[in-house]
């Protein structure tokens, strides 16, 4: 190795130690500098990884917090509460940095042969911040909080297949389902299903803000900020910071300025418009993580003209996704292919051809359907996604080339999800990331789902959905999801322009693991327990 390359290697190693370079870039530059892959891997391991240091106060600026937030896990809605929940409470399972499913309160879990009964073994060394150990009874009460007639929980639909939850001793929980569900442990990562201390009457005490997560709340005000300190009895690895401060920063400019001036160490969302400018600041590291969150455009398949698959496919072909991603998402997105299954989820079929912009084919499909000169109204609102209205207008321009007249209707932001979504026949919707294809399809594509936003009824798709749900063999499941993807793509009523990336940032002195979870921003909302200060 030449002297110049040696210098480069030193700088790379320094950057790796400081956490300001990813493993992939490190390997790339190391190989360019003339190292062998084995040597570079070894160097990364010794110099960079596992350098997590304890200490410091992590000041975390999070978008979307509200004065009217509460600790009730059933009505968690804002990002601040979701991130706080992952910091001061625990779940049964968690999504690891590499996207796999890992243990949180449950050490292990196993299913009956037909996957309709799940047994979770609760770790014996977890405790609430009040000092009381976490037992199976707390888990049962916490899950039951989202069930029954009187519940106000938004997670009720998620647990609708559950028929019984019971504790078997202090450390075993048995859940019985109406049918097989191989993804059930994945469902336990849903942000509503936080474990709270049980009261004697089987309800939970959510008001006190007690939890068994890595940090305990010392003081806080909803919509403003929370101060937390490390919970020494936490049952998992990590929690390097001594203290964590969660600060509500709703204004994009305030968030960015606070990061630039060092008033916070990390922020949960970077405005895409200014991402390129922020990238120039050497003190700031930006993460651009493909997620399973999606923008969808459902068309009601039972309403003319969308009741004809040719019309639906013409509308899918009439979109120039590349231009939309470039101009609306500023490149921070993964191209959609009209099935709601993202590369960030397990079982993603990678061999399905991408649907491209093809106005000519769209025209011929319309001709075949006898729907030439098609005119449709697309309802949207700016609150759905930053740039949603612009995106609809851009799509209308693309569709013109296919002879389709798309009228963009700008709806009020307030009440969009009650008065427009599921009501108007052609809308633009934003979906948060769901952990598995089954959860997503069951929620919004199953024939009888309350949120079947495109009112799509496809017998084969629904048959496969139930089969795949109960299938414990991974390769068979993957094959079924591939077929379902093709059905959704070619017959379904939903246009999926793109899956949006999570774009967030931290100061350069914050160390982050090689893999960042894609379930939420900031490492699956778990930055507080997974990140550390390098200096």
Partner 1 sequence: MGDLLGLVAKRLGFGLLTLLVISVIIFFMVELLPGDIAQAVLGQGATEENLAALREQMGLNKPAVVRYFEWLGNALTGDFGTSIVTGERVSTIITERFINTLFLAAYAAVIAVPFAVTLGIVVALLRNTLFDRVVNVLTLTSISSPEFFLGYILILYLAVKTGMFPAISSLRPGMTFWELLDRTFLPALTLVLVVTAHMMRMTRAAIINLLASPYIEMARLKGAPPWKVIVRHALPNAWAPIINVIALNLAYLITGVVLVEVVFVYPGIGQALVDAVSKRDFPIVQSCCLIFAATFILLNLAADVAAILTNPRLRHPK
Q: Which of 5, 229, 257, 364 is close enough to bind partner 1 by CB under 8 A? A: 257
Residue 3 Cβ, how far from partner 1 at the closest point, in Å? 38
Q: How far is the CB of 424 from partner 1 (least distance, A)?
A: 14
Residues 355-394 as x/- pattern, contact with partner 1 by CB under 8 A: ----------------------------------------
Is 223 a residue that touches partner 1 (CB under 8 A)? Answer: yes
C-alpha distances in Å from residue 351, one per residue of 77, 137, 208, 313, 337: 36, 45, 50, 20, 12
Radius of gyration of the chain measured on its C-alpha atoms: 24
Which residue in the set 153, 212, 268, 345 belongs to the binding site for partner 1 (CB under 8 A)? 153
Regarding 280 and contact with partner 1 (CB under 8 A), the answer is no
* Spatial contact of 491 and 458, defined as CB atoms under 8 Å apart: yes
Judged by beta carbon, residue 222 or residue 481, the one nearer partner 1 is 222
Q: Which of 62, 249, 392, 394 binds partner 1 (CB under 8 A)?
A: 249
Query: What are the φ and ψ backbone dihedral angles of 174, each rounded to 5 degrees?
Result: -115, 125
Exactly one of 39, 154, 275, 401 binds partner 1 (CB under 8 A); that residue is 154
Q: How far is the CB of 152 from partner 1 (least distance, A)?
A: 4
Which 47-86 residues touch partner 1, going by CB under 8 A? 66-70, 75, 77
* Residue 81 CB, nearest approach to partner 1 (Å): 12
Handedness of CA 161, 291, 316, 391 (dihedral sign): positive
Minimum separation from the CB atom of position 479 to partner 1 (A): 32
Rounding to the nearest 10 degrees, give the CA dihedral for residues 135, 137, 138, 142.
140
Q: Which of residues 225-244 bind partner 1 (CB under 8 A)?
A: 225, 227
Mark residues 160-199: x for contact with partner 1 by CB under 8 A, - for none. Answer: ----------------------------------------
Smallest distance, partner 1 to C-beta of residue 386, A: 16
Instruction: List all residues 6 or more positions away from 10 whose beta carbon is below 8 Å from its beta carbon.
Output: none
Paired tokens of 65: 């917090």
Select the residue interacting with partner 1 from 40, 101, 247, 332 (CB under 8 A). Answer: 247
> CA–CA separation, 61 vs 224, rounded Å?
10
Question: Contact between 279 and partner 1 (CB under 8 A)?
Answer: no
Region binding partner 1 by CB under 8 A among candidate stretches 123-131, 217-225, 349-357, 399-407: 217-225
Q: How far is the CB of 273 from partner 1 (least distance, A)?
A: 15
406: left (phi over 0), alpha (psi -120 to 50) or beta: beta
**Cβ 79 to partner 1 shortest distance, Å:** 12
Question: How far apart (Å, rounded) are the C-alpha atoms in residues 346 and 344?
Answer: 7
140 within 8 A of 133, measured Cβ to Cβ: no
Determine the 3-state secondary structure of 124 from DSSP.
coil
Position 248 contacts partner 1 (CB under 8 A): yes
Q: Which of 127, 144, 151, 534: binder of partner 1 (CB under 8 A)?
A: 151
Which part of the chain contacts partner 1 (CB under 8 A), choosing from 220-228, 316-324, 454-462, 522-530?
220-228
CA nearest neighbour of 329 among 294, 362, 372? 294
Q: Which is nearer to partner 1, 418 or 475 (CB)?
A: 418
> Does 254 sit near partner 1 (CB under 8 A)?
yes
Q: How far apart are CA 286 and CA 284, in angstroms?
A: 7
Q: Does 448 bind partner 1 (CB under 8 A)?
A: no
Tokens 């109204």: give the residue: 377
Using CB under 8 A as the binding rule, whether residue 157 contacts partner 1 is answered as yes
Choose the binding region for partner 1 from 136-144, 162-170, 249-257, 482-490 (rule: CB under 8 A): 249-257
- Cα within 13 Å of Cα(472), Cβ side: 12
Contact string 461-500 vs partner 1 (x = CB under 8 A): ----------------------------------------
- Calculated CA dihedral for residues 151, 153, 159, 162, nearest 10 degrees: -20
Closest CA to 214 of 396, 58, 63, 98: 58
Least Å from the CB of residue 258 to partner 1: 5
Decide whether 18 or 254 has the Cβ nearer to partner 1: 254
Applying CB under 8 A, the site for partner 1 has a residue count of: 44
Q: How far is the CB of 455 from partner 1 (least distance, A)?
A: 16
H-only helix segments in 200-274: 252-260
Say how many C-beta atoms besides its own lie within 10 A of residue 234's C-beta. 20
Dihedral sign from CA coordinates of 431, 158, 238, 60? positive
Give a three-class secondary structure readout of 394-460: HHHHHHHCCCCEEEEEECCCCCHHHHCCCCCCEECEEECCCCCHHHHHHHHCCCCCCCCCCCCCCHH
| Residue owning tokens 């999570």 | 502
Shortest approach of partner 1 to residue 291 CB, angstroms? 17
**318: region left, alpha or beta (phi > 0 left; psi from -120 to 50 alpha):** alpha
When binding is defined by CB under 8 A, the residue of 41, 229, 250, 288 that contacts partner 1 is: 250
Residue (179 or 412) nearer to partner 1, CB: 412
Alpha-carbon distance of 300 to 424, in angstroms, equals 8
Q: What residues from 412 to 441 belong to the interface with partner 1 (CB under 8 A)? A: 412, 414-415, 417-419, 421
Binding site for partner 1 (CB under 8 A): 66-70, 75, 77, 149-157, 219, 221-225, 227, 245, 247-251, 253-254, 257-258, 260-261, 263, 412, 414-415, 417-419, 421, 450
């Amino acid at each position: 190795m030449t002297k110049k390359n040696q210098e480069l290697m030193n700088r790379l190693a320094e950057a790796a130690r400081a956490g300001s370079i990813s493993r992939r870039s490190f390997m790339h530059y190391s190989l360019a500098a003339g190292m062998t892959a084995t040597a570079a891997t070894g160097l990364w391991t010794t110099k960079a990884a596992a350098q997590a240091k304890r200490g410091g106060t992590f000041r975390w600026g999070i978008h979307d917090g509200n004065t009217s937030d509460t600790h009730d896990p059933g009505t968690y809605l804002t990002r601040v509460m979701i991130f706080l929940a992952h910091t001061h409470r625990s779940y049964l399972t968690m999504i690891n940095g590499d996207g796999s499913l890992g243990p949180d309160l449950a050490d292990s879990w196993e299913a009956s042969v037909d996957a309709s009964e799940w047994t979770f073994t609760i770790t014996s060394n977890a405790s609430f911040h009040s000092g009381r150990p976490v037992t199976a009874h707390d888990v049962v009460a916490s899950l039951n909080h989202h069930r029954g007639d009187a519940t106000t929980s938004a997670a009720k639909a998620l647990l609708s297949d559950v028929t019984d939850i019971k504790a078997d001793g202090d450390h075993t929980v048995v859940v019985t389902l109406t049918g097989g569900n191989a993804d059930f442990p994945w469902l336990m990562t849903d942000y509503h299903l936080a474990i709270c201390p049980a009261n004697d009457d089987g309800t939970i005490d959510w008001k006190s803000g007690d939890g068994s997560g890595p940090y305990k709340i010392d003081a806080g005000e909803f919509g403003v900020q929370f101060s937390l300190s490390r919970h020494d009895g936490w049952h998992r690895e990590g929690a390097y910071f001594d203290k964590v401060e969660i600060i509500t920063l709703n204004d994009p400019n305030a968030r960015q300025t606070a990061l630039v001036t060092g008033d916070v160490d990390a922020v949960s969302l970077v405005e895409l418009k200014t991402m390129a400018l922020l990238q120039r600041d050497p003190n700031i590291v930006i993460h651009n993580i493909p997620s399973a969150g999606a923008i969808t455009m459902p068309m009601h398949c039972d309403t003319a003209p969308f009741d004809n698959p040719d019309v639906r496919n013409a509308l899918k072909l009439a979109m120039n996704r590349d231009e939309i991603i470039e101009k609306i998402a500023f490149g921070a997105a993964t191209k959609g292919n009209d099935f709601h299954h993202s590369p960030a989820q397990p079982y993603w079929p990678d061999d399905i051809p991408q649907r491209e912009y093809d106005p000519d084919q769209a025209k011929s499909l319309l001709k075949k359907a006898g729907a030439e000169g098609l005119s449709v109204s697309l309802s949207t609102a700016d609150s759905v996604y930053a740039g949603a209205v612009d995106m609809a207008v851009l799509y209308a321009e693309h569709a013109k080339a296919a002879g389709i007249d798309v009228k963009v209707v700008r709806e009020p932001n307030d009440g969009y999800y009650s008065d427009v979504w599921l009501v108007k026949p052609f809308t633009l919707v934003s979906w948060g990331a769901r952990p598995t294809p089954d959860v997503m399809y069951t929620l919004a594509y199953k024939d009888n789902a309350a949120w079947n936003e495109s009112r799509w009824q496809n017998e084969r798709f629904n048959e496969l959905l139930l089969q795949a749900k109960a299938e414990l063999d991974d390769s068979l499941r993957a094959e079924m999801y591939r077929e379902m993807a093709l059905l959704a793509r070619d017959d379904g009523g939903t246009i999926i322009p793109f899956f949006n990336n999570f774009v967030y940032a931290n100061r350069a002195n914050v160390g982050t693991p090689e893999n960042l979870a894609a379930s939420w921003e900031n490492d699956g909302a778990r930055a507080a327990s997974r990140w550390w200060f390098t200096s």
